[in-house]
Structure 1
Amino acid sequence: MTNESAVTTVVDGRAFLECPRWRDGRLWVSDLYAHEVLSIGSGDDARVELSIDDQPSGLGWLPDGRMLIVSMVDGKILVRENADDPASAAVHADVSALATGKLNDMTVDEQGHAFISTFGFEFRSRSYVESAVLIHVAPDGTAEVAANDLLFPNGSVILGMPDDEVRTFVVAESMGNRLTAFDLDQAGKLTGRRVWAAFGPEVPRSSVRDAMAASQVAPDGICLGDDGTIWVADALHQRVIRVAEGGEILDEKRFGTGVFACAIGGANGDVLYGCAAPSSSEHQRRDTRDASLLAVSI
Structure 2
Amino acid sequence: MIKTRPATLVASGFTFLEGPRWHASGLYVSDFYSETVLRIEEDGSHVPVCSVPGRPSGLGFLADGSMLIVSMLGRTIMRWDGTRLTTHAEFGHLIDGYANDMLVTPEGWAFVGNFGNTDADPGSLRTTGLVRVSPSGGADIVARPLVFPNGIVFSSNHDQIIVAETFAGRLTAFDYTVDARGGPVLGGRRVLKQFNVAPEYLDIERAARELDALPDGLAVDAEGAVWVASANSHAALRIAPDGEILEAVDVGELSAYAVALGGHDGQTLYLCCSPPLGVSDPSTTFESVLMAARVDAPAASFERKPCHSQFAL
When normalised by structure 1's length, the TM-score is: 0.92
In the other structure, the counterpart of 2:267 is 270
Number of equivalences:
289
Q: Relative to structure 1, is the Cα distance of residues 206 and 79 closer, same or farther in structure 2, using a 3 angstrom cutoff?
A: closer
1:203-214 mapped onto 2 (5 Å cutoff): 203-214=199-210
* Whole-angstrom CA distance in 1 between matches of 2:208 and 2:136: 38
**Pairwise CA distance, 1:64:** 1.4
Q: Relative to structure 1, is the Cα distance of residues 120 and 2 closer, same or farther in structure 2, using a 3 angstrom cutoff?
A: same
For the 8 Å contact 1:129–1:175, the answer to whether it is kept is no
User: Helix, strand or coil: the match of 2:167?
Assistant: coil
Report percent identity of matched pairs.
35
**Pairwise CA distance, 1:5:** 4.1
For the 8 Å contact 2:126–2:202, the answer to whether it is kept is no
In the other structure, the counterpart of 2:11 is 11
Q: Relative to structure 1, is the Cα distance of residues 98 and 206 closer, same or farther in structure 2, using a 3 angstrom cutoff?
A: closer
For the 8 Å contact 1:276–1:291, the answer to whether it is kept is yes
Q: Relative to structure 1, is the Cα distance of residues 44 and 243 closer, same or farther in structure 2, using a 3 angstrom cutoff?
A: closer
For the 8 Å contact 1:35–1:55, the answer to whether it is kept is yes
User: Helix, strand or coil: the match of 1:251?
Assistant: strand
Letter in 2 for 1:285: P
For the 8 Å contact 1:138–1:188, the answer to whether it is kept is no
In the other structure, the counterpart of 1:29 is 29
**Pairwise CA distance, 1:208:** 1.1
Residue 239 of structure 2 corresponds to residue 247 of structure 1: no
In the other structure, the counterpart of 2:112 is 116
User: Which range moved further: 134-143 or 191-200?
Assistant: 191-200
Letter in 2 for 1:95: F
Letter in 2 for 1:270: Q
Residue 60 of structure 2 corresponds to residue 70 of structure 1: no
1:33-182 mapped onto 2 (5 Å cutoff): 33-81=33-81, 83=82, 85=83, 88-121=84-117, 122-124=119-121, 126-161=122-157, 167-182=159-174
* Whole-angstrom CA distance in 2 between matches of 1:235 and 1:118: 16
* Whole-angstrom CA distance in 2 between matches of 1:195 and 1:12: 35
User: Helix, strand or coil: the match of 1:210?
Assistant: helix
Root-mean-square deviation (CA, aligned residues, Å) is 1.8
For the 8 Å contact 2:112–2:131, the answer to whether it is kept is yes
Unaligned runs of 5+ in 1: none
* Whole-angstrom CA distance in 1 between matches of 2:278 and 2:113: 19
**Pairwise CA distance, 1:282:** 10
Unaligned runs of 5+ in 2: 296-313
In the other structure, the counterpart of 2:299 is none
User: Helix, strand or coil: the match of 2:150?
Assistant: strand
* Whole-angstrom CA distance in 2 between matches of 1:48 and 1:249: 36
Letter in 1 for 2:293: V
When normalised by structure 2's length, the TM-score is: 0.87
**1:124-183 residue CA offsets vs partner (Å, 9 max, x unmatched):** 5x5243112211001111111122221111001111546xxxx10110000111111111
In the other structure, the counterpart of 2:288 is 291
User: Helix, strand or coil: the match of 1:213?
Assistant: helix
* Whole-angstrom CA distance in 2 between matches of 1:189 and 1:141: 17
Q: Relative to structure 1, is the Cα distance of residues 217 and 4 closer, same or farther in structure 2, using a 3 angstrom cutoff?
A: closer
